[in-house]
Amino acid sequence: MGEKRYLSKLARTFGGTEAPSAGPLPTSLKLDTGEEVATQFGPCLVLASKHPADLSFPDRHRATETVAQAFSLLFGIGPVREGGLRDAGVRTFADLVAHPRYGSEAGRWLASLESGDVPTLYEGVSRRFSASHDLLLHLLAFADPRDLVFLDIETLGLSSLPAFLVGVGHLNEGGLNVRQYFARTLGEEPAVLAALQGALPAQPIVVSYNGKAYDWNHLQARCAYHGLEALPEPVHLDLLFFARRRWGTELLDCSLSAVERAVLGVIRELDVPGEYVPALYQNYLRTGSATALLPVIAHNREDVVTLARLLSALLERVTGSG
């Protein structure tokens, strides 16, 4: 069933999608930590929570040395030529600045490292290495921790269908602040997207789990569907790729829940399988009762918290603390 037909069916069953419901909100969603926020597209509900977080970011000097020694970042340098350069005493990009072939590019890399230009460094590393390469984690040495956005979304399906819950985590000195933007009706999805846009830093560093293939693209598609401004193009660290690289030989299953159990030792006693999430939200729309939806909200919140913990575990090898 196409999106328009699906939305029409939902609208007939649960009410219109063009405007938020004027009726009373389910009292079970009026949480002490929740607040209604206004956007140019109407209101949505935001649920806020705080969690401990202890991430040790790479040392900037060490990260600069590590990147500047990765000669294969320069076009035309493969393993054989790299070996020859090292045999000739070349250690870092600084030793190549005067080179007639590689000097210009080496100079650009050094300038980006000096200025801490994370988007440019990310683009260069991603162009030559896989999306799970440790060099990408080293780049966090140049980042402002406040630019990290831990992201997880809940939607009505795998195709381009409404996103009704967007959870984001931001680091501060007190730990991890999680804000969950919730659409109480289908008509509040544009407000959720607008609230998310307002919460993003100018150059976000998105941390997700399979979000590079799904979550971020889904949100971009929903913004386009509603005629909203596109989300910024982020530096994106998809921890699924890093988890597969780091623990894939040990774990048969690299789903977030499996990695969470095996690596972090966290077992969720009551959790909602992802395939049930759309049905639970549709039940909430039909009945107005949020009781069965509260575990979905908890699931989304815990996914965001797990992203921060998992990134911390991955950084231990880069920082030498683990």
Percent of the chain with pLDDT over 70: 89
Look at residues 134, 155, 183 and tell me which one is the last residue of a structural domain. Answer: 134
- DSSP assigned state of 75: T
| Phi (first) and psi of residue 178, to 5 degrees | -110, 130
User: What does the DSSP assignment read for 55-67?
Assistant: --PPPHHHHHHHH
Task: Provide the pairing of β-strand 205-208 with 148-155.
Answer: parallel
| Domain end marker among 134, 165, 183 | 134
Q: Are residues 67 and 180 part of one domain?
A: no
Pair (310, 210) in one structural domain? yes
User: In sequence order, what E strands does the chain have?
Assistant: 34-39, 42-51, 148-155, 163-172, 175-182, 205-208, 235-238
Is-above-0.85 flag for pTM? Answer: yes
Each residue's pLDDT tens digit, 147-165: 999 999 999 987 679 999 9
- Same domain for 52 and 81? no
Residue 8 binned pLDDT confidence (cut-offs 50, 70, 90): low
Q: Of 125, 309, 155, which Cα lies nearest the Cα of 235?
A: 125
For residue 145, which phi and psi values (nearest 5 degrees)? -55, -25
- Say whether both 110 and 217 belong to one domain: no
Q: What is the CATH number of the domain that holds 309?
A: 3.30.420.10
Distance between CA atoms of residues 243 and 261, nearest Å: 13
On whether both 174 and 67 belong to a single domain, the answer is: no
**Structure tokens that stand for 149 in this block:** 């956005």
Helices (H) and strands (E) in the chain, counts: 12, 7
Residues 175 and 288 grouped into a single domain = yes
Over the stretch 276-320, which tens digit does the pLDDT of each residue have?
A: 899 999 999 998 888 888 899 999 999 999 999 999 999 998 887
Q: How far apart are CA 24 and CA 171, in angstroms?
A: 34
* Domain extent for 120: 60-134
One domain for residues 202 and 288: yes
Q: Is the pLDDT of residue 86 over 70?
A: yes
Domain count, the chain: 2
**pLDDT, tens digit, 9 for 90 and up, residues 178-189:** 999 999 999 999
7 plus 76 within the same structural domain: no
CA angle, 144 then 148 then 150, to 5°: 165
Residues 164 and 181 in one domain: yes
Residue that finishes a domain, picked among 109, 134, 159:
134
What burial class does residue 145 get, using C-beta atoms within 10 Å of its C-beta: 0-12 exposed, 13-18 middle, 19+ buried? middle
Residues written for the chain:
322
pLDDT band at residue 30 using 50, 70 and 90 as cut-offs: very low
Do 97 and 47 reside in the same domain of the chain?
Answer: no
